[in-house]
Amino acid sequence: MAHEQRSSALGQDHSRTAALDDKTVEALGELSKALETIHRVRGHLYSAHQLVGGADLTLDRVVKLLREVGHDEMANRVEHELLGRNLLPGRWTFQIVEEFDDGYYAAFQEIERDAREKLAGGRRHIYEAEMKERRRTHGMPGHEATPEE
């Protein structure tokens, strides 16, 4: 069921068009929520990239310390089996991050953007803007619709 354009104290950028029905707004909100989760996944991948890289660099010191106390066999094992090892077959973490960015992440962003453009005239966060309007207490400090209110 289509609605007439709802005016929002949040402004035109966050108000629905006349053609947008509740289910479409909800679907776009869920798609946006899913994309936000994927942004978090990307951040975790970058964290893993940095953590694994840092651990690999720490192995240099491990090898040095083991050699200093005569544990050459163990130092060799760390140096040859762990130092510089691929995290996945043929891939260091930078390659995993690049593949994720160029593949799944790029496709997800493009599809979410396309859905917003085609279904909501490019407007973002309509679902959240309407929720804000429903949940805020008009006239109360800290409940303004915009910084200018």
Q: Does 147 reside within a domain? A: no
Instruction: Tell how far CA 120 is from the center of its chain.
Output: 22
Q: Does 8 reside within a domain? A: no
Q: Does 7 reside within a domain? A: no
101 — pLDDT class (breaks 50, 70, 90): very high
Least confident of 13-17, 57-61, 125-129: 13-17
Q: Does 144 reside within a domain? A: no
Q: Does 33 reside within a domain? A: yes
98 vs 12, residue with greater confidence: 98
Distances in whole angstroms, Cα of residue 105 to Cα of each of 46, 88, 92, 97, 98? 13, 19, 18, 10, 10
Q: Does 123 reside within a domain? A: yes
Give me the DSSP letters along 5-42: PPP-TT-GGGSPPTT-BHHHHHHHHHHHHHHHHHHHHH
Give the structural domain span for 67. Answer: 20-135
Residue 124 has pLDDT above 50, yes or no: yes
- pLDDT, tens digit (0-9, with 9 covering 90-100), for 43-69: 999 999 999 999 999 999 999 999 999
Residue 113 has pLDDT above 70, yes or no: yes
Q: Does 101 reside within a domain? A: yes
Domain count of the chain?
A: 1
Distance (Å, whole) CA 142 – CA 68:
62
Q: Does 28 reside within a domain? A: yes
